[in-house]
């Protein structure tokens, strides 16, 4: 009788979290830059075809913003689907949590008011923002408001806290990942405010809070809802300034 064959199983190699790497980051950024170039080209053609847009290109601002968000999703889909066979939202941290959405909206609004108080303390200058041009009419303001509290927070959280932050956290630790991502978040918003450092600092702090929430919950749903509540406060303030009783 032969002794039974002893089989030694190899220990399972834990999957890398997140599963993507810096080559994927470079690929997504490359696809995104190509997408932006395409958007600019299409806008150039439209401006050439419609002379009225040369004097007032603001009708193009909201559609190009929406197109940019669409291309962000397409870039993620192409990389995740064809390189890893993974879905976009689940991979980037779209996971349910026990935190109530209303609580997150209130927390986002409270953060916005705290950031506004900080902006007053550091004497944030009054600068001309593209938002002023985008929201010149009631219809454009309404469209912008909906985008600002829904689509914009979703795709900003997907890109920054869903894609970049986990990668940096894996390399440098959670705290550094949150801070570095927040700095990138603030820097990319700086051109909207004429590169005023006070605005960049305020957005960076907000980004750090969103990043902390994402790190604690392991989900981008709470940070997305909180981001929407944060933007909602500024939308209400914008509507009041444009159409309030003092007007």
In the numeric block, the tokens 């960049």 are attached to 200
Answer whether residue 1 shows pLDDT above 70. no
Q: Which two tokens stand for residue 192?
A: 């909207």
The model's confidence at residue 9, banded by pLDDT at 50, 70 and 90, is low
The model's confidence at residue 12, banded by pLDDT at 50, 70 and 90, is very low
CB-count burial class (<10 Å; 0-12, 13-18, 19+) for 104 = buried
- The domain segmentation of the chain, as residue ranges, is 18-91, 97-247
The residues, any chain, with a CB within 8 Å of residue 167's CB and separated by 6 or more, are: 18, 20, 21, 22, 25, 177
- How far apart CA 86 and CA 15 sit, in angstroms, is 14
Answer whether residue 31 shows pLDDT above 90. yes
Answer whether residue 163 shows pLDDT above 90. yes
Q: What is the pLDDT of residue 13?
A: 43
Q: What percent of the chain has pLDDT over 70?
A: 93
93: left (phi over 0), alpha (psi -120 to 50) or beta: left
DSSP labels, 107-164? HHHHHHHHHHHHHHHTTPPP---HHHHHTSSHHHHHHHHHHHHTHHHHHHIIIIIIII
Q: What percent of the chain has pLDDT over 90?
A: 66
Q: What is the pLDDT of residues 50-81, one digit of tens each?
A: 888 877 777 888 889 899 999 999 999 999 99
Answer whether residue 3 shows pLDDT above 70. no
Mean pLDDT for all residues in the chain: 90
How far is C-alpha 25 from the geometric centre of its chain's CA atoms?
15
The model's confidence at residue 247, banded by pLDDT at 50, 70 and 90, is low
Q: Which residue has the higher pLDDT, 240 or 27?
A: 27
């Amino acid at each position: 009788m032969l002794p039974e064959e002893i089989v030694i199983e190899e220990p399972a190699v834990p999957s890398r979290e997140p599963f993507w790497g810096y080559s994927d980051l470079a690929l997504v950024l490359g696809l995104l830059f190509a997408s932006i170039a395409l958007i600019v080209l299409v806008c150039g053609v439209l401006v050439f075809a419609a002379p009225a847009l040369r004097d007032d290109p603001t009708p193009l601002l909201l559609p190009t913003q929406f197109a940019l968000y669409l291309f962000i999703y397409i870039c993620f889909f192409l990389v995740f689907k064809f390189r890893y066979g993974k879905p976009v939202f689940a991979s980037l941290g779209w996971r349910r949590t026990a935190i109530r959405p209303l609580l997150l909206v209130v927390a986002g609004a409270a953060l916005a008011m705290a950031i506004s108080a900080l902006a007053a303390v550091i004497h944030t200058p009054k600068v001309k923002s593209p938002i002023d041009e985008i929201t010149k009419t009631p219809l454009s303001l309404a469209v912008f408001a909906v985008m600002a509290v829904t689509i914009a927070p979703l795709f900003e959280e997907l890109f920054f806290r869903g894609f970049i932050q986990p990668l940096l956290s894996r390399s440098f630790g959670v705290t550094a990942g949150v801070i570095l991502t927040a700095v990138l978040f603030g820097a990319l918003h700086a051109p909207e405010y004429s590169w005023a450092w006070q605005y960049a600092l305020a957005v960076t702090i907000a980004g750090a809070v969103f990043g902390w929430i994402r790190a604690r919950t392991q989900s981008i749903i709470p940070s997305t809802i909180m981001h929407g509540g944060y933007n909602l406060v500024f939308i209400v303030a914008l509507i009041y300034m444009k159409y309030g009783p003092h007007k």
